Chain A
Amino acid sequence: DAKTTQPPSMDCAEGRAANLPCNHSTISGNEYVYWYRQIHSQGPQYIIHGLKNNETNEMASLIITEDRKSSTLILPHATLRDTAVYYCIVRVNSGGYQKVTFGTGTKLQVIP
């Protein structure tokens, strides 16, 4: 799996959009971008994933650049409950699951 690079921490005002960047410059053509988050010391929770098109679900939006070397997770209206560590990972999604590398993630602090 390709390695990812994320800023160690970010702040966001409550009610504003939180934009979390991730660099994955060595991503392969068949690798997907996944985002998870971890609140306190609970098990990580899946947020969203995508291959090359932008994706949106009830939790967030995922914007992937055209060259696929970076992506941004957008939480449109951040709340205090969104304070967590956010992980960006890339991996193949075709049955060959392989190793998964999470990295250290971005600690998002939502400020009242």
Chain B
Amino acid sequence: EAQVTQNPRYLITVTGKKLTVTCSQNMNHEYMSWYRQDPGLGLRQIYYSMNVEVTDKGDVPEGYKVSRKEKRNFPLILESPSPNQTSLYFCASSPLGKNQETQYFGPGTRLLVL
């Protein structure tokens, strides 16, 4: 089944404790992206990647890192989480090219930073 998976789905952590949220897709998509969603602010893009070793900042990259060493994986790294990073996070992937239609979204990761 074609899908985007995220782990963990729920995470409670404390300020300053490094964490990684994994994202994996099995559709051989070139493009992958991370979003955060907060009440009243909609979906905001954190980082995106056009292909392996190619990443770029979205609208809200501060406090986050990403890497794209393999095509299927795009982990989101919070080196020193803070309470304002408490949010619902979504990973998405998409093929590139003239006829690509849509981003496929993962189920979300709900993060609470105390």
Using a CB–CB cutoff of 8 Å, the interface residues on chain A facing chain B are 34, 36, 38, 41-46, 49, 87, 93-95, 97-105
Q: How far is the CB of A53 from chain B (nearest CB, A)?
A: 15
> Which residues on the A side are within 8 Å of B59 (C-beta)?
99, 101
Tell me if B92 and A43 are in contact (CB < 8 A).
yes
> Which residues on the A side are within 8 Å of B94 (C-beta)?
97
Task: Name B's interface SS.
Answer: strand
Tell me if B48 and A99 are in contact (CB < 8 A).
yes
Would you list 23 pairs from A and B whose C-beta atoms are within 8 A, ordered by A residue? A34-B102, A43-B90, A44-B92, A44-B103, A46-B101, A46-B102, A46-B103, A49-B102, A87-B42, A95-B97, A97-B31, A98-B48, A99-B45, A99-B48, A99-B56, A99-B58, A100-B33, A100-B48, A101-B45, A102-B35, A102-B45, A103-B42, A104-B40
Count of residues in B whose CB is under 8 Å from the partner chain: 33
Q: Quick one: closest B residue to A95, CB to CB? A: B96
Q: Quick one: closest B residue to A43, CB to CB? A: B105
**Which of B41, B48, B101, B108 is A41 in contact with, Cβ under 8 Å?**
B108
Q: How far is the CA of A105 from the CA of B106 in the complex (A)?
A: 19
> Which residues on the A side are within 8 Å of B100 (C-beta)?
93
